[in-house]
């Protein structure tokens, strides 16, 4: 039996390093997740460049409810529109909203959480209170209210989803800061007379990124779920622009005329969510030292 | 313990006050008010005087902070306001909707917890063998499939293959006819239970693996206990805190998280009450219902923390 000794000394246990990325790629879940997300990204880029098999909005009445064939790989819908093209466009819409929403939530939430953990005292109490309130407020109803208040449009859906997921990032970021700020290297920095901004940005921040990175992957998958749920209820992307949730909603009443109308957008949602979840799991295993030892 | 309870209750009151402020603000930000809720597009035909007197009638000509405290004050005395469109007291609307949602949440959570713990233990006791892979696959699928897709699929399959439409009939209360009621609640509960079971399964699996590596397991083996007894009595008990947490979180989440399922299966629960309330700008309905949902959420979270002490005497609540 050979014993592999890891000779690299990690600066701190929670940092994202290059070795960790390699470890992500060595776990099957991480690789599958990454592959799925790359495929989704390619689909979105193609859709953004207008390289769908057919224009997603082009109606073709004689070909209504056409079954999957070589000219329409996933068939057509009640207006004779190509379902594959619409799903591709829907994936783009869904990813765009989720990515922007999670970026906002992660930035604001992590900043608030890190500040709360680092400064403690009143900052911590105020942030904690706002977080508790937002958690107690029913999430989907909060998103609904935000969308209703702001009106429809993709940026408003983004804000609604960002509002819902910000408190999660506050909690995820605050916890590790409490540990890190008591570690010796931070104390040393304090003794050396480093200012608070320098301590915070140069010493604390790099050491709490790992849980936030994991959370970003998971939050992206939930954001896709929430986005599709909102558009399922008719509060997200508006017709005729394609959106996966709305396609499922319309498809379910037309299942008897064409199963693909519901199956195609539904599988796009499921595959996206699972792909991001797998990356999240893979990252968690790769970045969490206590877990990696077990493997 | 007593001091802990007092502190938690004080925190809960502050949180609920915050929720009240938030929902009040959100409702005022929405375009439209109770006058447009009552009259719809006919609002445009009102003269200024008519409009003002209606605003005075609904009390929305008052300064916002006075509107807020008069609403909160009446809620505290048990008066939740009147629904403008139906003319019914909001308290009665909530009294009708709340049992529907709570029953659905209890059914879904029970079902989800049983299946989730079962599969979780099954997978964890076969780490990295085929059974584990199947279990983990279930976990991923359950988390990945949104409940509205599960619900829509169930409805489509029941309708096309069995000509059964779970949402077609008028909702029947449990005390009116228990059998019919459970029939109507069954499919929505199964729909919600799938995602819940997946979350519970994943937590159970990792908590079980954590507990399984501890010394008392070796001792139990040494005592000659059967693997089944070790698994279900010793290891499961020692992994129950994360499991109770996730079940509690999910149950609390369902208080406000059943909207879409209520909508798909046409169940007249809290989610739909708030959803239509938002659409019709029913200030009293939305504000009071959201407050009730948040209160339940806070109480459930407190209850979960108190359960910890029962499960693990080492837990000290401070």
Write the pLDDT tens digit of every residue in A24-45: 777 778 888 889 989 999 988 8
pLDDT band at A292 (very low <50, low <70, confident <90, very high): very low
What is the distance in angstroms between the Cα of A198 and the nearest Cα belonging to chain B? 34
Q: CA of B194: how far to CAs of B153, B187, B211, in Å?
A: 13, 11, 25
- Give the integer Cα–Cα distance in Å for B19 and B13: 10
Residue B89 sits at φ, ψ, to 5 deg, of -65, 140
Contact A232 B260 (CB under 8 A): yes
How close, in Å, is residue B216 to chain A by CA atoms?
19
Whether the per-residue pLDDT at B266 is higher than 60: the answer is yes
Q: Is A254 on the interface with B (CB under 8 A)?
A: no
Q: Does A234 touch chain B (CB under 8 A)?
A: no
Q: Answer whether B256 touches A (CB < 8 Å).
A: yes
pLDDT, residue A4, reads: 41
Has residue A99 got a pLDDT over 90? yes
- pLDDT at residue number B213: 81
Check CB contact under 8 Å for B153 and A245: no
pLDDT digits (tens, 9 = 90+) for B114-154: 999 999 988 988 887 888 888 888 888 888 888 888 988 88
Does pLDDT of A218 surpass 90?
no
| pLDDT at res. A264 | 84
CB contact under 8 A, B19 and A136: yes
Count how many pairs of residues, chain A against chain B, have C-beta atoms within 8 Å.
119
Mean pLDDT rounded to a whole number for chain B = 84
User: Residue B317 pLDDT more than 70?
Assistant: no
Task: Look at the block and give the residue holding tokens 């696959």.
Answer: B137
Instruction: Give pLDDT, residue A8.
Output: 37
pLDDT tens digits, one per residue of B222-235? 888 888 888 888 88
Q: Residue B211 above 90 pLDDT?
A: no
The residue of chain B nearest to residue A226, with distances taken between CA atoms, is B146
Its ipTM equals 0.79
Q: A59-63, A261-265, B61-65, B262-266: which has the highest mean pLDDT? A: B262-266
pLDDT (tens digit per residue) in A57-82: 777 777 777 677 777 676 777 776 77
Cβ-contact A20, A214 below 8 angstroms: no
Q: Which range has the top average pLDDT, A97-101, A137-141, B9-13?
A: A97-101
Chain B residues whose CB is inside 8 A of the A225 CB are: 146
Percent of chain B at pLDDT > 90 equals: 15
Are B189 and B104 within 8 A, CB to CB?
Answer: yes
Lowest mean pLDDT among A63-77, B5-19, B243-257: A63-77
Instruction: Output phi, psi for B282, to 5 deg.
Output: -85, 90
Answer whether A149 sits within 8 Å of B298, measured CB to CB. no
Is A133's CB within 8 Å of B255's CB? Answer: no
Q: Which residues contact A172 (CB under 8 A, 6 or more apart)?
A: A109, A110, A113, A211, A212, A215
Q: Which of residues 264-293 of B touch A (CB under 8 A)?
A: 271, 274-275, 278-279, 290, 293
Strand, helix or coil for residue B249:
helix
E runs forming strands in A104-259: none
Judged by a CB distance cut-off of 8 A, whether residue B40 touches chain A is no
Q: Which residue of A has its CA nearest to B291?
A: A137
Q: How far apart are the C-alpha atoms of A56 and A83, rounded to whole Å?
A: 8
């Amino acid at each position: 039996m050979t014993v592999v000794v890891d000779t690299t000394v990690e600066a701190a246990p929670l940092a994202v390093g290059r070795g960790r990325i390699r470890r992500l790629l060595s776990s099957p879940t991480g690789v599958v997740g990454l592959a799925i997300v790359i495929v989704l990204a390619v689909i979105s880029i193609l859709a953004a460049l207008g390289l769908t098999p057919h224009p997603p909005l082009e109606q073709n009445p004689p070909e209504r409810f056409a079954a999957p064939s070589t000219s329409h790989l996933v068939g057509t819908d009640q207006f004779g529109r190509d379902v594959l093209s619409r799903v591709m466009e829907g994936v783009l819409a869904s990813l765009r909203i989720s990515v922007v929403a999670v970026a906002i939530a992660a930035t604001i939430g992590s900043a608030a959480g890190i500040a709360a953990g680092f400064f403690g005292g009143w900052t911590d109490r105020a942030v904690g209170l706002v977080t508790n309130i937002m958690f107690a407020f029913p999430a989907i109803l909060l998103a609904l209210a935000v969308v209703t208040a702001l009106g429809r449009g993709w940026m408003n859906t983004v804000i609604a989803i960002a509002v819902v997921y910000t408190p999660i990032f506050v909690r995820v970021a605050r916890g590790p800061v409490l540990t890190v700020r008591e570690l010796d290297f931070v104390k040393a920095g304090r003794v050396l007379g480093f200012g608070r901004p320098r301590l915070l940005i140069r010493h604390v921040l790099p050491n709490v990124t790992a849980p936030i990175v994991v959370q970003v992957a998971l939050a992206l998958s939930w954001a896709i779920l929430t986005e599709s749920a909102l558009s399922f209820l008719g509060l997200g992307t508006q017709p005729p622009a394609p959106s996966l949730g709305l396609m499922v909603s319309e498809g379910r009443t037309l299942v008897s005329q064409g199963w693909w109308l519901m199956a195609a957008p539904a599988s796009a949602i499921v595959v996206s969510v699972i792909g991001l979840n797998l990356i999240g799991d893979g990252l968690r295993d790769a970045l969490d030292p206590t877990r990696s030892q077990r493997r | 313990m007593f001091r802990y309870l007092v502190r938690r209750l004080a925190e809960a009151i502050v949180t609920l006050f915050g929720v009240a402020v938030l929902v009040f603000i959100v409702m005022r930000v929405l375009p439209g008010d109770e006058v447009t809720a009552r009259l719809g597009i006919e609002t445009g035909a009102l003269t200024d005087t008519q409009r003002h007197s209606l605003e005075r009638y609904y009390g929305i000509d008052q300064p916002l902070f006075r509107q807020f405290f008069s609403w909160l004050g009446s809620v505290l005395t048990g008066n939740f306001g009147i629904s403008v469109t139906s003319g019914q007291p909001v308290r009665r609307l909530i009294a009708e909707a709340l049992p529907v949602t709570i029953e659905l949440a209890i059914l879904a959570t029970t079902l989800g917890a049983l299946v989730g713990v079962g599969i979780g233990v099954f997978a964890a006791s076969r780490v990295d063998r085929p059974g584990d892979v199947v279990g983990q696959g279930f976990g991923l699928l359950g988390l990945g499939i949104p409940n509205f897709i599960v619900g829509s699929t169930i409805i489509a399959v029941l309708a096309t293959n069995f000509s059964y439409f779970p949402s077609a009939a008028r909702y029947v209360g449990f005390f009116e006819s228990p059998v019919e009621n459970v029939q109507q609640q069954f499919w929505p509960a199964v729909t919600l239970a799938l995602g819940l079971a997946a979350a519970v399964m994943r937590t159970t699996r990792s908590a079980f693996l954590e507990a399984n590596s501890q010394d008392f397991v070796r001792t139990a083996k040494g005592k000659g206990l059967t693997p089944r007894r070790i698994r279900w009595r010793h290891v499961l008990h020692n992994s129950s805190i994360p499991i109770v947490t996730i079940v509690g979180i999910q149950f609390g989440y369902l208080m406000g998280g059943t909207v879409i399922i209520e909508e798909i299966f046409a169940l007249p629960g809290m989610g739909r009450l708030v959803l239509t309330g938002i659409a019709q700008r029913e200030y009293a309905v939305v504000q009071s219902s959201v407050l009730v949902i948040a209160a339940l959420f806070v109480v459930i979270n407190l209850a979960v923390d108190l359960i910890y002490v029962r499960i693990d005497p080492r837990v000290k609540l401070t």
